[in-house]
Structure 1
Amino acid sequence: MDVLSSAPVSAESTSYVGRAQEGAAIRRLLGQARLVTLAGPGGVGKTRLAARVMRDSVRAFEHGAVFVELAPVRDGALVANLVADRLGLQDRSDASATRIVIEHLRHQTRLLVLDNCEHVIDACAGFVAEILAECPRVVVLATSRQSLAVAGERLVPVQPLPTADAVRLFLDRAAAIWPDAVDGEAARQELTELCRRLDGLPLAIELAAARIRSLSPAQILDRLSGRLTLLTTGPRLAPPRQQTLRATIDWSYELCTPSERTVWKRASVFAGSFDLDAAVQVCGGGDIAPGKVLDLIDGLLDKSVLIRHDEQGTARYRLLEVLREYGHEHLTSDGEQDEIARLHRDWYGRLVTLADEEWLSRHLYWIERLTREHANLRAALDWSLARRQEAGVALAMASRPFEYWLLRGLSSEERRWLDRALAAAAPDHPARPFALCVAALHALWQGDHENLGRLLDEVEQLAAAGTDEELTARILHIRAFAAMMAGGPESVDLAAEACAIFRAHGLVRAELHPLFIHGVSIAYRDRDLATARRLLSRMNAVATEHGATFYQAMSLFGLAVVEVEFGETDAAAEAAAEALRLDVLAGDLHGRAYRIDTLAWIATRRGEHSRAATLFGIAATVWDRIGTSPDFAVAIPHRRHLKRTRQELGDARFDEAFTAGRLLPDEDGLRYALDERAPEPEPAHGEPANPLSPRETEIAELVAEGLTNRDISTKLVISPRTAETHVQHIMTKLGFHSRAQIAVWSVSRHTELI
C-alpha cells in the first residue's frame, strides 16, 4: 500500500476530539458510494473530520489515499495540476493534467480527498465527474461549503459538536495553555454554557480557548455574551451558526493589539503557508518595524490565529482559510489590498531571481524551496496578470528558473503562465525574447510542433531586429534540439555553433544542454565515438565542478547512450547507474525514466533478456507517471532493444517479466535497476528477515503447498494473471528462477521460526 500524501499538518497538529460515530458512518458510506461530500459552514471541522476518516480508512484502499488541499489555489483551471502534483505525477506531454491523472488512477483502488472545494466548485465538479467516469475503483471524499452536484454524490452535513464534545475540546486546548484553568464545578458549568453559546463550532471554541491564559471561562463568556446577543437579536443576514462564528472571530480580532491585527490582515495575501523572511517583507512596513514581526507572529500563534509547522528545519505559518478570508476582508476594506499584494509579488519575484542566479550550484536547495513556495508563486503571477501594467513582471517571473518547472514536471503550467503573460505584456518588453525561448523549449519537450514553429518564428523576428548573440545562440540551441529529436543530421552543426557562442560569452549553464546534443548527435551522425566521449566528458566535468546535479546526470546519460549504441556496455552500465542515482537525488522522474530504459537496452546487449524485460516494465511505470513515452525522444534505440528482448524471450515470458517490473513499488524498482539488494530489516525476537509483503508471503506458502497459479487465484479470490504476477514478483525480490526455489525458501523460513 502506498499512502502518497497525508493530511495537512494543521489537521493533525493537535489531538482529535469527538465525532467517532460520524467518522464510522462516513467510512461505511465510502464503501457504498464513490463520491461523499462533507458539507458545512467554515469552522465546523470538515477538514479535521476528512483527515481522520482518511487515516482510518486507508487500509481499505490497495493503492492508499492522497489528501489535496485546494485552499491555496485561486484558479479552478489548476485543480487537476494540484492533484497531479500530490500524486507525484509529472507533466511532460501535451496531455491535460486531468488526462494524466485519469491515466494514472484508471486501474487503481485509491481514496482521493479534496479539501475546500467551494471556491473552485465548478472546476472540482467537472474534474470529479471525469474521475468517477473513467477510474472505476477511485473513491472521492470532498469537503465543501456546498455540494458538488455530481451524479451519485452522497452529501453528509457536518454538524457542530455536541455540547459534551465541545467541552472536551475546550478543556483539551485549554490544558495545553493553562492546565488548571478550569477548576471546580462552577467553572465547568460556565464552560458548558460558553460552548453552548458558541454553538459547538470547533473553530470558535479553539479561538475562545486561546484566551484561557488571561481570562477565566466566566470572563470569556461575559465578553462574548454581549456580542452574541446583539447578533441573535438583530437582522439575521446570515445563518445563526455563521453569525456565532463571525462574532467569535470579531472578538478574537479585537483582542489582538493593533499591530497584531495589521499582521493578520496583511498575512491574508499569502496562499498556503509562508516563512518568517516572507512575513517580514510583506507584513512589515509602516508602523510595523521589521524587527517586531516575529514578536507579532508569536502573539498570533498564542491566540490560535496562526498555525505553525516545520519543513526542512524552517518554521512556516499559515492562516486557516476562514481566518484568511476574514483578514482579507479587513485588508480590502482598509484599502491596502493592492499595496500588500504588490509587496507579496515583489518578494517572490526577488526569490525566483535569486533562484535563477544560484541555480547551477544550488538547484537542489532551490527545487525544495520553490516547491514549498509554489502556491505563493501562483498567487503572485495571478495578481500580476490581473493588472495589465504588471504583466511584464509576470513574464520575467514565469520564465526563470525554467529548469525548476521542468524538473517538477510542470511544463504545461509554466506554458500556461507564459502564454498569458506573452499575450498581456508589451511586444517590446525586454523579458519577451527569453520567455519565448522557454515557451518554445516546453513546446518541444511536449511534442507540440505547431506552437513550437509559431514561437520560434516570433523570437527569430526579434533576433533579426537586433544584434543579441546570446539570443541567436538560444535559437540555435532550440533548433538543434528539435533536429536531434527528429533524427536530423543538422543537429550537430547547430549545437556546435550554439556551444561556441555560449562559451565565448561565459554562459556556462546555457552551454551544457547544447553540449549534450552535440555529443549524442555526432555519435549517431558520424559514428564518431571519440568526439562524443570528449564532448560529454567535458559537459560532465563542468557540471561536476559547479555542483550541477541535473546536468551531471544528463551528461552521464549521454555517455551511456553512445556507449550502449556504439561502444562498451560496461561503461554504459556504469554511466547509466550513476545518472540514475543523481536523478533520485534531484527528484527528476523524467530523467529516471530515460535512465531505467537505457539500463534495459544494456541488459539486452548483454543477453540478460529477462532482466531487460523487467526493466522495460519498471520504466513503463515511470513513463506513465510523467505522461509521455520513450517514443518521444529515444524511439529508435528503445524499439530496437525492446523488439530483440521480446524475440529472445517469446511473448509469454516477456509479458510475465515486463508485468513483474510494472508492479514493483518505486523503491524496489530502483533497487532492481541499480542491481542492489533491498536492506534487510532487523528480525524481531529472532524471527528471520522477510523481504516479501504479507500477501507475497501468503502466496509463497501456497506455492510451497504445491498449488498452481490457478489454484492460488481460486483460494485468494484473485485473477490467475494477478497470481502469476505475484509469483514473478516474489522470484524477482528473492533472486529466484523457479517455483521450487520459492517452496524451499518458504519451508526453510518456517523451520527457522519453529
Structure 2
Amino acid sequence: MGASVRSSRSGNLPAEPNTFVGRAAELARIGALLESTRLLTLTGPGGVGKSRLALRAAHTAQTSFPGGVWLVELSDLQNADLLTNAVAEATRLTEQTLRPLLTAICEHLDDGPLLLVLDTCEHVLAECGRVVQELLARVPELRVLATSRQPLGVPGEHLLSLAPLPLGEHADAVALFTARAAAAVPSFALTDTNRIDVAAVCARLDGIPLALELAAVRLRGFPLDRLLEGLDSRFDLLVSPARPRLARHQTLRTAIGWSHELCTPLERLLWARLSVFAGGWDVEAAEFVCHGGPLDAEEILALLASLTEKSIVTRENDSVAGRYRMLDTIRTFGADWLEGLGEQDAVRARHLDYFRWIARQGEAEWLGPGQRMWAERLSVEHANLRVALEESLAAPEPEPALELTGTLWYFWFACGFADEGRGYLERALRRAPEHTPGYTLATWAHRLVTVVPDDVDAAESVSAAYVWLAQECQLPVSALPLTGASLAVRGESARSALLYGSNTQGPGGGGGAEFFQLLTLAVQAYLLAGQGAFERCAVVAERLRVDCATRGELWMRAWGDFFVALSGIGLGRPDVALRSAREALAAKWRVHDRLGAAAVADLLIAAEAAAGEPERAARLLGVGTRLWYTAGLPQLGDIETTVFRREYARHLRAALGDTGFTEAVREGRGLGPEAAIALALNGVADEVDL
C-alpha cells in the first residue's frame, strides 16, 4: 500500500475526532502567545476541554512550525521516570544509545522552529517541569504547549486558565450541545421551541464540555424535556440546601455518575474492569481481562458496542481495527468503582497475565513472517506493557518481572526501546536471586540492550581502516561504511563475548536462541568484510539471508542484505549493491529499526557513487544526517565526524562542484524521515510503498 510522503517534518498530530465548536477567543489568544511565549500551559478542571483545545490550536499552528508539531500524550504514563522515553517515542527518536536520553532528544529536536504539545501533565508534574525546563534551555527554537490541572512551575511559564463554555441561549455551550446532539440523533435540531430547554441543560451542567457531550448522547434514549428532568432530579439528590449550585468538578462527576446509572449492571461492571487498560484495548484483550463472574467473555463485544453508543468508550477508527479507549475522567470513575467492588487486584492480575502471554507469543513468532505485525502490535500496546511491567515489579515474587522483562528482549532491542528496556531489566534483576531461568534470560536481555553504539572513537578507527583498505585494494570507492554496521550489528568479538560470556551458546531455547544463531552469522559477515574477504563475506551473508527467509524474518535478514550489498561494492558490482541495500533499508524501516536504517542509508551513498550517480549520493549524505538524528546519534551524521563521510563529501564535491554538492546535501537533509526513506528507495521524495 503506497503512502504519500511530505517533505516537511509535519509531526504526529492525530486527526481531530469531531468538529471543533467555540473557543474562538481562546484560540486566537493561544496563537498570539505561541509567537511570543516559549511555554504556554492551559490549566483548568477535568472535563473543561484542555486537551481538545490544545489539539485544535496545534493543528492551527502547524504552518508556523516547519520543524514539526509533536503531541506527547501523558495520560497513560504511570511512571514519571519514563517521561523522556514518552517524548522520544512521540517524536520518533530511537532509544539505541547509552547517552542520556534527554541529551539525544535535545539534539533530535534542534532542527528549526517546532512545537511540543505535552497533554495531561498533572500526574507527572515535577518531572514535566524538569524536562521542559531543560528542553527550553537547550533547544532555542522550541515552543511548548502543555495542558495540566496545575502549572508546571517553570520560569517563564505563561498560564491560560480555561473556564467552562459561556452560557446563554446563543452561547458556545448551546452550540456544542447542539452539534453533539445532532451527531448522536441526526433528526435533532436547535429551534426556537427547544432553545430554552437546551440552554437550561447547559446551565445545569455548568457549561463543562465533557458533561455536555455525555448529556447530548442521552438524547438517543430520552426526549429533551425528559433529559432536563432527569438532570434536575439527579442533581437535586446531591445538592445541599446550603449549596444551591454544585462545584464544577462535582457537576462533572455527577454527570458521569448519571451516565453510569443509565447503564445496565453488566455495562457498569465492564466499565469498571476496562479501567485497568492504558492506551486502549482490543476485543481479545477485553474478553480475557474483563470476563468472570456474571460477565461472560461472549457478551463483551455486544457490551462494548453498547458502551460506545453511550459514549463511555470510543472506537479508534484510524488505528488498529477494533481498538477502543476511554477518556481519562471516565476511566478514573471506572477505576474508583472497581476499587469499590474489591476487584482491583484480580483484574490487574488478569491484565498482567494477558500481556505476559502477548510477550511470549511475540517472542515465539518474532523470527518469522509475523515480525512486522508484532513490531506494530507491541508499539500499539506499549502503554499496556508498561502497566503490566509495573504490576510484575510490584509482585512479591521476582519471577514474573524477570520473565516479562526478559521475554521482551526483541521489543527492547529491535524496535528501538533499548533505554527503557535497560531500566526495567535493571529493576527486575536487582530484586531477584541468581541462577534461575528467569534471571538468566533477563541477564542476557540486559546485555543485549546494553551493548550499544556510543564509541565514536572506535567508529572512527573502523572507518579509517576501511579507507586504507580501499586504497590498498584499489576499490572503486574511497571509503566503505562499516561504521554503522559495526555499531548496529554489535559485531566486534569483544562485544560478542560481553553478550554471551565465555560460552558459545546464547539463551537456552525460544526465539532468543534462534536470534543468537543468526547474530553469529552477521558477526562472521562483518569480520570477513573487515578483512576485505568480500567473496567469503557474500557467501556468509547469503546464508544469513536464506536462513532468515526460511523463517520469514525481516530484521536480521536486512543485515544479510547489508553485507551482500557491501560485498557488491567491494567486488565492483554496484547493481547488486543497490538492489540489496534498498531491500535492507525497506526492511529496517518496516520493523522500526531506525539505527539500522541509518547505517544502510550510509551504505547506499557508496552504492550510488559506485553506480555513477554522484548527485543522488550527495542527497543521501543529507538523508543520512537526518536518519542518524532520528536514531539518536547525530554525530554520526555529521560530515566531519567520520572518515567515511568526509571522504565521500570530498569525492562528491569534486564531481558536482561546490554549489551542486551543497544544494544536493541540503535537499536530502531537509527531508522528513519518511520522505528521506522514499528518496533512498526510489530516488523521489514523494511516495514510498512499504
3-state DSSP of counterpart to 2:147:
strand
2:30 pairs with 1:43: no
User: Aligned equivalents of 1:238 and 1:140: distance in 2?
Assistant: 36
**Residues of 2 paired with 1:58 and 1:145: CA distance?**
25
Tell whether the 8 Å contact from 1:499 to 1:514 is kept in structure 2 after alignment: no
Moved more, 264-273 or 294-303: 294-303
**Secondary structure at the residue paired with 2:115?**
strand
Distance in 2 between residues matched to 1:69 and 1:272, nearest whole Å: 9
Alpha-carbon contact 1:489-1:521 (below 8 Å) kept: no
How much has 1:49 moved relative to structure 2?
A: 0.7
- Structure 1 residues 234 and 265, CA gap change in structure 2 (3 angstroms): farther
Aligned equivalents of 2:512 and 2:124: distance in 1?
A: 47
Q: Which residue of 2 aligns with 1:216?
A: 223
What is the aligned partner in structure 2 of residue 513 from structure 1? 519
For the structure 1 residues 44 and 665, does the alpha-carbon distance in structure 2 shift closer, same or farther, using more than 3 Å as the test?
A: closer
2:337 aligned residue (322, 330, 340): 330
Structure 2: how far apart are the matches of 1:487 and 1:350? 34
Aligned to 1:352: 359
State whether residues 275 and 315 of structure 1, in contact with CA within 8 Å, keep that contact through their aligned partners in structure 2.
yes
Q: Which letter maps to 1:592?
A: A
**1:218 and 1:668 mapped to 2: Cα distance?**
55
- In 1, distance between residues paired with 2:435 and 2:128? 38
TM norm structure 1: 0.78
SS of 2:211's partner is helix
Q: How many Å apart are 1:522 and its aligned residue?
A: 2.8
On the 8 A contact 1:502/1:511 being kept in 2, the answer is no
Deviation at 1:647, TM superposition (A): 6.2
Please state whether the residue corresponding to 2:322 is helix, strand or coil.
strand
**Where in structure 2 are the equivalents of 1:15-34 lying within 5 Å?**
15-34=19-38
Output aligned runs, 1:472-487, within 5 Å.
Answer: 485-486=491-492
Q: What letter corresponds to residue 540 of structure 1 in structure 2? A: R
For residue 286 of structure 2, the aligned residue among 269, 279, 282 is 279
Structure 2 letter corresponding to 1:89: L
Aligned to 1:415, the other structure's residue is in SS state helix
Gaps spanning 5+ residues in structure 2: where? 1-7, 457-485
Aligned to 1:723: none
- Stretches of structure 1 that go unaligned for 5 or more consecutive residues are 450-479, 682-754
**Cα separation, 1, equivalents of 2:388 and 2:10:** 31
Equivalent pairs, count? 643
The answer to which of 149-158 and 568-577 deviates more is 568-577
Tell me what 1:72 maps to. 76
Q: Is the 8 A contact 1:118 1:144 kept in 2?
A: yes
Counterpart of 2:267 in structure 1 is: 260
Computed over aligned residues only, the root mean square deviation of the Cα atoms, in angstroms, reads: 3.4
Could you say if the C-alpha distance between residues 401 and 155 of structure 1 is closer, same or farther in structure 2, counting changes exceeding 3 Å? Answer: same
Q: Residue 307 of structure 1 corresponds to which residue in structure 2?
A: 314
Q: What are the equivalent positions in structure 2 for 1:76-95 lying under 5 Å apart? A: 76-95=80-99
Q: Deviation per CA, 1:145-186, whole angstroms, max 9, x where unpaired?
A: 111111111111111111222222222222223344567655
Return closer, same or farther for 1:198/1:299 CA change in 2, 3 Å cut-off. same
- State whether residues 34 and 132 of structure 1, in contact with CA within 8 Å, keep that contact through their aligned partners in structure 2: yes
Match of 2:550 in 1: 545
How far residue 265 of structure 1 moved from its aligned partner, in angstroms, is 0.8
Deviations 1:699-722 (A, max 9, x none): xxxxxxxxxxxxxxxxxxxxxxxx
Counterpart of 1:364 in structure 2 is: 372
Q: Can you list the C-alpha shifts for 1:37-64, whole angstroms capped at 9, x where unaligned?
A: 1101111111111111111111111223
How far does residue 66 in structure 1 lie from its aligned partner after superposition? Answer: 1.3
SS of 1:420's equivalent?
Answer: helix
Q: For 2:135, give the aligned amino acid.
A: I
Matched, 1:203 2:200: no
Q: Which amino acid aligns with 1:587?
A: H
**Are 2:580 and 1:575 equivalent residues in the alignment?**
yes
Report the secondary structure of 1:146's partner residue. coil
Which of 365, 375, 384 in structure 1 is aligned with 2:383?
A: 375
Could you say if the C-alpha distance between residues 611 and 317 of structure 1 is closer, same or farther in structure 2, counting changes exceeding 3 Å? closer
Could you tell me whether the CA contact under 8 Å between 2:41 and 2:157 is conserved in 1? yes
CA contact (8 A) 1:160 1:200 kept: yes
How far 1:580 sits from its partner (Å)? 1.7
1:99 maps to which residue?
103
Distance in 1 (CA, whole Å) between partners of 2:489 and 2:679 is 34
SS at structure 1 position matched to 2:71:
strand
Pairing partner for 1:247 from 254, 262, 265: 254
User: Residues 82 and 236 from structure 1, CA distance in 2 versus in 1: closer, same or farther, beyond 3 angstroms?
Assistant: farther
Distance 1:238 1:38, change over 3 A: farther
Deviations, residues 318-370 of structure 1 (Å, cap 9, x unaligned): 11101111111111122211111111111111111111111112101111111
Moved more, 647-656 or 219-228: 647-656
C-alpha change, 1:374 and 1:667, in structure 2 (3 Å) is closer
**Cα distance in 2, alignment partners of residues 489 and 3 from structure 1:** 38
| Aligned partner of 2:446 among 439, 447, 450 | 439
Structure 1 pair 500–181 and aligned structure 2 pair: CA distance change class (3 A): closer
Which one is further off, 567-576 or 287-296?
567-576
Match of 1:54 in 2: 58
Query: Do residues 228 (structure 1) and 235 (structure 2) align?
Result: yes
- CA, structure 1 residues 205+611, in 2 after alignment: closer, same or farther (shift >3 Å)? closer
Structure 1 residues 510 and 52: CA distance shift in structure 2, 3 A: same
**C-alpha distance in structure 2 between counterparts of 1:14 and 1:643, whole Å:** 53
Structure 1 distance, partners of 2:510, 2:65, is 57
| Residues in 1 aligned to 2:596 and 2:77: alpha-carbon distance in whole angstroms | 28
Match of 2:182 among 175, 180, 187: 175
Paired residue type of 2:373: Y
Q: Is the 8 A contact 1:529 1:567 kept in 2?
A: no
Structure 1 residues 187 and 646 mapped into 2: Cα distance closer, same or farther (>3 Å)? same
**Residues 400 and 629 (structure 1), Cα distance of their counterparts in 2 relative to 1, 3 Å cut:** farther
State the Cα distance separating 1:384 from its structure 2 match: 1.5
Give distance in 1, aligned partners of 2:687 and 2:631.
31
SS at match of 2:316: strand
> What CA deviation, in whole Å up to 9, does each residue of 1:66-88 have, x standing for no partner?
11111011111111211211111
Greater share of residues in helix? 1
> What amino acid maps onto 2:521 in structure 1?
L
**CA distance 1:545–1:419, change in 2 (3 Å):** same
Q: Does 1:130 align with 2:156?
A: no
- Within 2, Cα distance between the matches of 1:500 and 1:301? 48
| Separation in 1, partners of 2:495, 2:33 | 61
TM-score by length of 2: 0.85
SS at match of 2:145: strand
Q: What residue identity is the alignment partner of 2:595?
A: H
Which residue pairs with 2:480 in the alignment? Answer: none
CA distance in 1 between counterparts of 2:101 and 2:495 reads 34
What is the Cα deviation at residue 612 of structure 1?
Answer: 4.0
Matched, 1:522 2:528: yes
Which whole-Å CA distance do the structure 1 matches of 2:444 and 2:539 have between them?
28
Summarize the Cα distance change of 1:574–1:144 in structure 2 as closer, same or farther, 3 Å threshold. Answer: same
Query: Which structure has the larger Rg over C-alpha atoms?
Result: 1
Post-superposition offset of 1:283: 1.4
Deviates more, 1:606-615 or 1:409-418: 606-615
Question: Which residue of 615, 621, 634 corresponds with 1:616?
Answer: 621
Tell me: CA distance 1:638–1:218, structure 2 relative to 1, closer, same or farther (3 Å).
same
Q: 2:117–2:146: 8 Å Cα contact kept in structure 1?
A: yes
Mapped partners of 1:501, 1:486: distance in 2? 19
In the alignment, which residue of structure 2 is the partner of 1:402?
409
SS in structure 1 opposite 2:152? coil
SS at the partner of 2:543?
helix
Q: What is the aligned partner in structure 2 of residue 475 from structure 1?
A: none
- Give the drift of 1:417: 0.8
Distance 1:194 1:565, change over 3 A: same
| Identical aligned residues as a percent | 35
Question: Cα distance 1:630–1:158, how it changes in 2: closer, same or farther (>3 A)?
Answer: closer
Shift of 1:497: 9.0
Contact 1:610 1:649 in 2 (8 A): no
Aligned to 2:668: 661
What amino acid is the match of 2:392?
Answer: S
Q: Tell me how far apart the structure 1 counterparts of residues 670 and 191 of structure 2 sit (CA, whole Å).
A: 60
**Is it true that 1:160 corresponds to 2:164 in the alignment?**
yes
Deviation, structure 1 residue 5? 0.9
